[in-house]
Structure 1
Amino acid sequence: MQIRDLPHPDPGVPDVRTGGRLLLWLYRQQLGGQAKALAWGLVHTGAVASFPLPVGLAVQAVVDRNGGQLAWSGGLMTLLGALVALGDVMLHRSAVTNWITAVARLQQLLARKTTELGSALTQRVAAGEIVAVSTGDLEKIGWFVEAVSRFGAAALTSAGVCVVLMVYQPALGIVVALGVPVLALAVLPLLPPATRRADAQREKAGRATELASDTVAGLRVLRGIGGEELFLGRYRSASQDVRRAAVRSARMWSLISAVQVVLPGLLLIAVVWYGVGLVQDSRIALGELVTVYSAVAFLLYPLRHFEEIAMAYSFSRPSAKRAARVLALARPSGGTAGAPEALDGDLYDPVSGLTAAAGRLTAVVCGDPDAAGRLAERLGGHPAETDTGTAAGTAAGTQPSVLLGGTALDDVSRDAARGAVLVQDKDPVLLSGTLGELLDVPSSGLVDTREALAAAQCGDVLAALAQASADDSGDPMRTRITERGRSLSGGQRQRLALARSLVADPTVLVLDEPTSAVDSHTEARIADGLRTLRGGRTTVVLTSSPLLLDRADQVVFLADGKVAATGGHRELLRGHPAYRAVVTRETDDAPVAPGLAPPEETPVRLGRWDQIEETA
């Protein structure tokens, strides 16, 4: 796999039982790339390790005044220098390719998991953890994947040098062969505390980042109550905790680095001291001592790779564990049951008892916005877990699945469930791009884009976008919309999102407060357009707006998460005090007498204080 071949045609099915198994699975997925990097690593480190031989021969040639041997040694050093340069370049190229392809594979797996779980993902894993896995954790995993080949080449070369030294000069070779393993293993006792300190630093950094994000998100409210200094003090305290944890972690890794310098230095001193004695006793030649000294000095180079792989593994193991935990999440069912040819019929939620009749516009009044959001997610096939403390993703820890035409959405494939039910939450996201790209979504093809925009009352939005057209064409479809629609007002974003949902034309459309950011006159026209365009199609609207409720075929009132009443909007206003209290925001629970019910010409107070519209 080369970088130009990305993305991967199929990222595969990862082994997510543990973080270590995930790392092993990644290694197996790029055996060819790892073998290539290892081969170039052996060329590079082997050439470096071979340099002591021509250096020793050159020194001995000078002592013996042998010009031919000196010239031969110089030519050999030139060849080895070329191999060192070539091997280093190709090793770096191959190792970085392994890094990028491994990270790209994990990014594709995380993206696939995100699309599979949708909004349910953030219910089971904190959003901050998902961001951490997608950024810093992937970088650490990639570092380990990239360092494996360099470590393998360094380890094999070090072993080869020790064997050659024992054959070339046994007296000194045995000292080196015994000392190198000690040097390599000396830092192992220091790794666990270093890893714990690094984990503590990352944990404190994550809390500080979360605190900063919450502060920025609520900055307007904080200014309103004068709480900026309070939260600033909290962030300063959190940042100082991060700094102290970073210093403690750096001290431990500095100690490990110092050990990796001091111990090889002691070995080098021992070899020189012992070798000088052998030269004085005429047991070895001066050139042989220079060769052995150069070989021991070379061993300081691969020992740095031992330190690097230890650090990389210590950092990547918890990162791989977090990535495996996210990738292990799954829908309650694997979608193993055979789905019918077409999912259609009544939509039934066994948790609340809600039934949305097929082909009708059903309005649902919850009173609790959070409960309405959870209901919308369940209707879309994303049941919330009953135990929020666990995220195992097993069917035993989740609520019963919603049924569409008698078929559980959890028992059908993800694509079938998504094609049948579309949920638009109360805060829809608009991706950056042109308006035409925004509305270019998978659809039935039965709803024209202009019809959807008209039903969502986007006329003023189109006019504003036409004036802002980048190419002066006046075509709003070619006007770019900034990320998350930040260049638009809240009402404009909401209406464009509604138009996008209408273009998709799913079998069942679930809308959570689709008109909460528009004025009452626009809301009334949207209600009429929605009823007309979705005629004969199942539509569920979670709202407390009388304008939408009055145009629904059926209104369902939920109390404490269960169906408490069903009927028409006016009927429930007359006969259900709790429903009337939620819809009209009245505190008086006295029922309205049938003879005094609001007539057609009497205004009814709406769900928001600034919306007053005739129900007629």
Structure 2
Amino acid sequence: MQIRDLPHSDPGDPDVGSGFRFLVWLFRRQLGGQARAMGWGVLHMASIAMLPIFMGMAVDAVVDESGRRLVTAGLVMLAITLVMASADTMLHRTAVTNWITAAARVQQLLARRTAELGGVLTRRVAAGEVVKVSTGDVERIGWFVESFSRFAAAVVVTLGVCVGLVVYEPRIGLLVLAGIAAVCLSVWPLLPAATRRADQERSRSGWATELASDTVAGLRVLRGIGGEELFLDRYRRASQEVRQASVRNARMWSLIDAVQVVMPGLLMIAVVWQGVGLAREGRLGAGELVTVYAAVSFLLFPLRLFQEAAMAFTFSRPSAKRAVRVLGLRRERADGAASSDGPLTGDLWDPATGLFAARGRLTAVVCGDPDFAERLAARLGGHPARAEGEPSAQLGGTPLDEVPLAAAREAVLVQDKDPVLLSGTLDELLTVPASGRVSAEAALGAAQCQDVLTALGQTSADGDGDPMRARITERGRSLSGGQRQRLALARSLITDPEVLVLDEPTSAVDAHTEARIAEGLGTLRADRTTVVFTSSPLLLDRADEVVFVHNGKVSVAGPHRELLTSTPEYRAVVTREPEGLGSEALADPARSMDADPLSDLAEENA
């Protein structure tokens, strides 16, 4: 596969049994590229290894004053140099291709798993960990895959040179074999310590990245409460821990580098000493001594490749473990349920809580626990947000976690309480998979985005005043919280799914705008099922039915105003009043209605 063919049409189904098995699977997925890299590597290093032979011939030709042999040796060396340069070029191209294609495969696998799990991913794995896996770890895994072929080529050529030295001069050949074994064995005991230190550095680096991400995401809140310095101090401490771990890791690898310099140096001294002795005995001529010395000098090159391969494996193995930890996450499925053959439709029901949302109606859900509401919203979308043995939500009698993920997401769209706006133009933001029934203008109107469009129109490209061409910064940081919420709501409305689940869609919107959104939402979704998790009286009053979930179960259902007078727990959640203060109001329904925050505002927008 070439780089121009990326992305992979199918990255495959990885073996996530362990980090090592994942590396083996990744290696096997591109055997062709590895074989090509190994072939070019063998040709390249074999060319370098052959130079000493003809260098010795050239020296002998000079000693014998044979110009013809000298010219022949020179021409052969020139030909070998050209072959060596060509092989080196192709080796580099093939190795880099292997690196990039392996890294791209891992990134595609991570992206596919992220898309499958959605927002549930960050509840299982820290956001900083996901960032580190998809950036630094991907590069290290690709590095190992790329370096293995060059390592294999170095092993083949090194064995060939050692065998040639043993045949050429047994005493020197056996000495070189023993020396290479000593070099490898001297480094081997240091690798476990280097792996542990690399793991510590990576762990601290992941924590620092997660802390920095959280700090940046909540910077506006931190400034409001004066907590900037507190978080900065925490990040400084985390950064210093990363620096200390990096220094300890670097010290270990500097020790390995020192051993890789000292041991081959001692081998060279021993070989030269032995060669000089053989030359004085008359068993080696000047050219032969040069050949032996140059051949041993060449062996220092593959020894460096051995170290690089060991280093790549040391760093890639923990990276592969972390990648497997993410890739091993699966969408949970219940046993014994049948999948749906056609489009999902019908009433939405959650057996765990008893929540029932009739088809084509606007159902508001009130929960006293925001965290439970978030988990329930995710479960209604067929995402793995349920406890062990807990049944899945059902749409039209079909468990959502038993149907293909694409079918579940096409039928049910869940908008989190903190939706993300991707950077790009407004037109790109609103270009999402949709039924085509709801236009962008209708969705923006229902979400009350008129002031947002006006503000974006002033920053549109080329100053033409077209808000659809205006650019939105990452996560919509240039917009207020209410503006971000309304744009996210408009994006969800354009999708026009069979079931739309909204978690606190207007928590950052003022009361007047919220009332108009409630009216527009009811009108635009008149024939679609809509479930809104909210405690806003304005939205609750517009709902066809309000369901109150208390202690993890549906407690009562009915119209908003009726529940205010009949259910003290419900009133306490909606009005933020202690339950005991509602007794007089419950005795006087008229007074209860006056206490309802809708009062004049609801009448004004009716």
Same fold by TM (over 0.5)? yes
Residue in structure 1 matching 2:520, options 506, 523, 529: 529
Structure 1, unmatched stretches of 5+, are 387-396
Question: How far apart are residue 314 of structure 1 and its match?
Answer: 0.7
Mapped to 2, the partners of 1:522 and 1:231 lie a distance apart of 35
Q: Which residue of 2 aligns with 1:138?
A: 138
Could you tell me which amino acid in structure 2 is paired with residue 605 of structure 1? P
Asked whether 1:413 is paired with 2:404, we answer yes
Asked whether 1:269 is paired with 2:299, we answer no
Stretch of structure 1 that moved more, 470-479 or 300-309 = 470-479
Q: Which residue of 2 aligns with 1:67?
A: 67
* TM-score normalised by L of structure 1: 0.93
Residue in structure 1 matching 2:582, options 570, 589, 594: 589
Q: Which residue of 2 aligns with 1:37?
A: 37
Asked whether 1:333 is paired with 2:341, we answer no
Mapped to 1, the partners of 2:603 and 2:373 lie a distance apart of 26
Residue in structure 1 matching 2:534, options 530, 540, 543: 543
1:577–1:589 contact (8 Å) kept in structure 2: yes
Stretch of structure 1 that moved more, 66-75 or 108-117 = 66-75
1:141–1:316 contact (8 Å) kept in structure 2: yes
When you count helix as a share of all residues, which structure comes out higher? 2
Q: Which residue of 2 aligns with 1:393?
A: none
Aligned residues: 602
Asked whether 1:446 is paired with 2:437, we answer yes
- Assess, with a 3 A threshold, how the Cα gap between structure 1 residues 514 and 233 changes in structure 2: closer, same or farther: closer
- Assess, with a 3 A threshold, how the Cα gap between structure 1 residues 270 and 73 changes in structure 2: closer, same or farther: same
1:334–1:413 contact (8 Å) kept in structure 2: no
SS of the equivalent of 2:554 reads: strand
Query: Counterparts in 2 of 1:107-126, with a 5 A limit?
Result: 107-126=107-126
Mapped to 1, the partners of 2:59 and 2:292 lie a distance apart of 12
Q: Which residue of 1 aligns with 2:562?
A: 571
Q: Which residue of 2 aligns with 1:286?
A: 286
Mapped to 1, the partners of 2:386 and 2:524 lie a distance apart of 35
Superimposed CA distance per residue, residues 348-369 of structure 1 (whole angstroms, 9 cap, x where no aligned partner): 1122211111111100111222
Q: Which residue of 2 aligns with 1:469?
A: 460
Could you tell me which amino acid in structure 1 is paired with residue 597 of structure 2? R
Q: Which residue of 1 aligns with 2:162?
A: 162
Mapped to 1, the partners of 2:561 and 2:448 lie a distance apart of 26
- Assess, with a 3 A threshold, how the Cα gap between structure 1 residues 33 and 210 changes in structure 2: closer, same or farther: same
Q: Which residue of 2 aligns with 1:365?
A: 366
Stretch of structure 1 that moved more, 165-174 or 122-131 = 165-174
Mapped to 1, the partners of 2:239 and 2:492 lie a distance apart of 43
1:584–1:606 contact (8 Å) kept in structure 2: no
Q: Which residue of 2 aligns with 1:604?
A: 596
Question: How far apart are residue 220 of structure 1 and its match?
Answer: 4.8
Calculate the aligned-residue CA RMSD, in Å.
2.1
1:574–1:597 contact (8 Å) kept in structure 2: no
Mapped to 2, the partners of 1:212 and 1:11 lie a distance apart of 31
Asked whether 1:17 is paired with 2:17, we answer yes
Superimposed CA distance per residue, residues 188-229 of structure 1 (whole angstroms, 9 cap, x where no aligned partner): 111111111111122222223333334444445555555544
Mapped to 2, the partners of 1:465 and 1:142 lie a distance apart of 42
* TM-score normalised by L of structure 2: 0.95
Mapped to 2, the partners of 1:383 and 1:597 lie a distance apart of 44
Question: How far apart are residue 89 of structure 1 and its match?
Answer: 1.4
- Assess, with a 3 A threshold, how the Cα gap between structure 1 residues 248 and 46 changes in structure 2: closer, same or farther: same
Stretch of structure 1 that moved more, 551-560 or 239-248 = 239-248
Question: How far apart are residue 581 of structure 1 and its match?
Answer: 1.3
Superimposed CA distance per residue, residues 389-410 of structure 1 (whole angstroms, 9 cap, x where no aligned partner): xxxxxxxx36321111111001
- Assess, with a 3 A threshold, how the Cα gap between structure 1 residues 543 and 174 changes in structure 2: closer, same or farther: same
Could you tell me which amino acid in structure 1 is paired with residue 244 of structure 2? R
Mapped to 1, the partners of 2:125 and 2:418 lie a distance apart of 20
Mapped to 2, the partners of 1:257 and 1:467 lie a distance apart of 59
Question: How far apart are residue 185 of structure 1 and its match?
Answer: 3.1
Question: How far apart are residue 280 of structure 1 and its match?
Answer: 0.9
Could you tell me which amino acid in structure 2 is paired with residue 604 of structure 1? D
Q: Which residue of 1 aligns with 2:476?
A: 485
SS of the equivalent of 2:483 reads: helix
- Assess, with a 3 A threshold, how the Cα gap between structure 1 residues 98 and 453 changes in structure 2: closer, same or farther: same
SS of the equivalent of 1:186 reads: helix
Q: Which residue of 1 aligns with 2:49?
A: 49
Question: How far apart are residue 374 of structure 1 and its match?
Answer: 1.2
Superimposed CA distance per residue, residues 457-478 of structure 1 (whole angstroms, 9 cap, x where no aligned partner): 1222223333332134433223
Mapped to 1, the partners of 2:242 and 2:122 lie a distance apart of 25
2:334–2:392 contact (8 Å) kept in structure 1: no
1:580–1:586 contact (8 Å) kept in structure 2: yes
Q: Which residue of 1 aligns with 2:323?
A: 323
Q: Which residue of 2 aligns with 1:295?
A: 295
Superimposed CA distance per residue, residues 522-555 of structure 1 (whole angstroms, 9 cap, x where no aligned partner): 1111111111111121110011111110111100
Superimposed CA distance per residue, residues 468-512 of structure 1 (whole angstroms, 9 cap, x where no aligned partner): 321344332232222222232222221121111111111110011
Query: Counterparts in 2 of 1:141-220, with a 5 A limit?
Result: 141-220=141-220
Mapped to 2, the partners of 1:186 and 1:151 lie a distance apart of 18
Could you tell me which amino acid in structure 1 is paired with residue 503 of structure 2? D
Asked whether 1:511 is paired with 2:502, we answer yes
- Assess, with a 3 A threshold, how the Cα gap between structure 1 residues 552 and 370 changes in structure 2: closer, same or farther: same
SS of the equivalent of 1:342 reads: coil
1:347–1:356 contact (8 Å) kept in structure 2: yes
Q: Identity rate of aligned residues, in percent? A: 66
- Assess, with a 3 A threshold, how the Cα gap between structure 1 residues 576 and 490 changes in structure 2: closer, same or farther: same
Asked whether 1:422 is paired with 2:413, we answer yes
SS of the equivalent of 1:345 reads: coil
Superimposed CA distance per residue, residues 260-317 of structure 1 (whole angstroms, 9 cap, x where no aligned partner): 1111111111111111111111112121111011100100000001111111001100
Q: Which residue of 1 aligns with 2:314?
A: 314
2:417–2:503 contact (8 Å) kept in structure 1: yes
Stretch of structure 1 that moved more, 447-456 or 273-282 = 447-456
Mapped to 2, the partners of 1:526 and 1:233 lie a distance apart of 42
SS of the equivalent of 1:605 reads: coil
SS of the equivalent of 2:548 reads: strand
SS of the equivalent of 2:12 reads: coil
Could you tell me which amino acid in structure 2 is paired with residue 592 of structure 1? A
Question: How far apart are residue 441 of structure 1 and its match?
Answer: 1.4
1:521–1:613 contact (8 Å) kept in structure 2: no
Stretch of structure 1 that moved more, 313-322 or 69-78 = 69-78
Question: How far apart are residue 113 of structure 1 and its match?
Answer: 0.6
2:564–2:592 contact (8 Å) kept in structure 1: no
Mapped to 1, the partners of 2:131 and 2:55 lie a distance apart of 52
Superimposed CA distance per residue, residues 81-113 of structure 1 (whole angstroms, 9 cap, x where no aligned partner): 212221211111110100000010111111111
- Assess, with a 3 A threshold, how the Cα gap between structure 1 residues 491 and 216 changes in structure 2: closer, same or farther: closer
Asked whether 1:460 is paired with 2:433, we answer no
Question: How far apart are residue 613 of structure 1 and its match?
Answer: 5.2
2:158–2:299 contact (8 Å) kept in structure 1: yes
Could you tell me which amino acid in structure 2 is paired with residue 553 of structure 1? D
SS of the equivalent of 1:363 reads: strand
